[in-house]
Amino acid sequence: MLANDTQSVYTDVQSMTQLRTQARNDPQATLEQVAKHFESLYMNMMLKSMRAASFGDPNFDSNNSAMYQDMYDSQIALQLSEQRGLGLAEMLVKQLQKGMPETNKEINNDNVSFNANIQYANIAVKSKKTDDPIKFNSKEEFVNTLMPYAEQAAEQLDVSPQILIAQAALETGWGQHMQRLPNGKSSYNLFNIKAGSAWSGAELNVKALEYKDGVAEKTQSSFRVYGSLQESFDDYVQFIKSNPRYQDALAVSNDPEAYARELQKAGYATDPSYAEKINNIFQRDIVSAPYSEYLHDA
């Protein structure tokens, strides 16, 4: 058995490379270390679930505190897995050893790939929510936080990122009225896209304002739930590009205000003043705003 090749700090990514090398030379000895990495990831997910089930303390919640809390949970999970842990690592070792060759001669080292460890690392990256819980204390903070995501989405749609920010601002009241789950966590649904039959992800059923024959009324509707701001923008891009009724909007993508008008014509929202409201925000609060370095690139 190798002396001690496991991580002592969860950010030590070099240990992944070391484990891969060890797997080629001595897969039996490395199996226990890989199992501990997996158990560490599993316990980290458990800690995240427990955090999500708590309302937290609104007096101390912030993006920075969430980041440090994530770091603390990851380190705790790693330390627990290095000791007795939950016993999951031991069970994995016993199960996986049954299908392993007895000697290294049975393995072609040139073809060995450490896919399991890489896969677990990718899962850990994808599950990390660096912007949860999300809060916006001003219009400036809303714009500056969303702009990097909006720029990526705008490039795929060939539209102005500022008009996407304006639409998100209208839909969420500048982030102050973003739909939240019963546990207080954000749905990250910046564009209030409804679930619908084509949606297979998580959803949230709430009362929302709809217009029927020009009259506003609250109706029960199901909306999509995302795990991050990035997921929200990614799904918005897919939603617009894959839906034939929004092709007229994409055809005028070089004109931000025309894009908003075509979205309304296509039935994106029932509010008869939807496009007008977006364009007012676009002109008054974004294009003419003095508070952000991003805004004058429109």
Question: What is the number of alpha carbons within 13 Å of residue 129 lying toward its C-beta?
Answer: 21
Separation CA 40–CA 80 (nearest Å): 7
Domain boundary among 101, 127, 153: 127
Residues facing 28 on adjacent strands: none
Domain boundary among 68, 95, 127: 127
Same domain, 204 and 228: yes
Quick one: tokens of 148? 């990097």
* 3 state DSSP class of 185: coil
> Phi then psi for 215, rounded to 5 degrees?
-105, 130
- The answer to whether residue 1 sits within a structural domain is no
Number of domains in the chain: 2
Per DSSP, helices labelled H in 3-138 are: 14-25, 27-52, 63-82, 88-97, 115-127
The pLDDT value given to residue 60 = 57
Residue 263 belongs to domain spanning:
139-297
- The catalytic residue among 82, 210, 248, 276 is 210
Same domain, 123 and 144: no
Distances (CA, A) of 130 to 28, 151, 176: 36, 19, 19
- The answer to whether residue 9 sits within a structural domain is no
- The answer to whether residue 159 sits within a structural domain is yes
Same domain, 150 and 226: yes
The pLDDT value given to residue 131 = 43
Identify the CATH number of the domain in which residue 218 sits.
Answer: 1.10.530.10
Separation CA 231–CA 235 (nearest Å): 6
Same domain, 200 and 71: no
Same domain, 151 and 50: no
The pLDDT value given to residue 198 = 87
| Closest to 246 in 3D by CA, of 232, 260, 256 | 260
- The answer to whether residue 3 sits within a structural domain is no
Q: Is 70 a catalytic residue?
A: no
The pLDDT value given to residue 121 = 33
Same domain, 105 and 163: no
* 3 state DSSP class of 226: coil
Same domain, 148 and 83: no
* C-beta neighbour count of 86 within 10 angstroms: 13
Domain boundary among 72, 99, 127: 127
Same domain, 56 and 167: no
The pLDDT value given to residue 123 = 33
Distances (CA, A) of 180 to 40, 118, 142, 167, 246: 29, 33, 17, 19, 28
| Closest to 43 in 3D by CA, of 16, 13, 82, 4 | 82
| Closest to 229 in 3D by CA, of 282, 295, 151 | 151
Separation CA 200–CA 217 (nearest Å): 27
Q: Is 210 a catalytic residue?
A: yes
Same domain, 80 and 163: no
The pLDDT value given to residue 27 = 65
- The answer to whether residue 8 sits within a structural domain is no
- The answer to whether residue 42 sits within a structural domain is yes
| Closest to 259 in 3D by CA, of 241, 271, 275, 282 | 275
The pLDDT value given to residue 296 = 42
- The catalytic residue among 235, 257, 262, 285 is 235
Separation CA 187–CA 154 (nearest Å): 22
- Residue stretches of the chain with pLDDT short of 70: 1-31, 33-35, 37-38, 42-44, 47-86, 88-89, 92-133, 209, 213, 290-298
Separation CA 179–CA 79 (nearest Å): 36
- The answer to whether residue 7 sits within a structural domain is no
The pLDDT value given to residue 237 = 97
Same domain, 18 and 111: yes
| Closest to 136 in 3D by CA, of 182, 172, 183, 187 | 172
The pLDDT value given to residue 217 = 76
- The answer to whether residue 165 sits within a structural domain is yes
Please give the angle made by the CA atoms of 256, 266 and 298, to the nearest 5 degrees. Answer: 10
Same domain, 143 and 291: yes
Cβ-proximal residues to 242 (8 Å cutoff; 6+ apart), any chain? none
Same domain, 170 and 249: yes
The residue ranges of DSSP E strands in the chain, in sequence order, are 203-212, 215-224
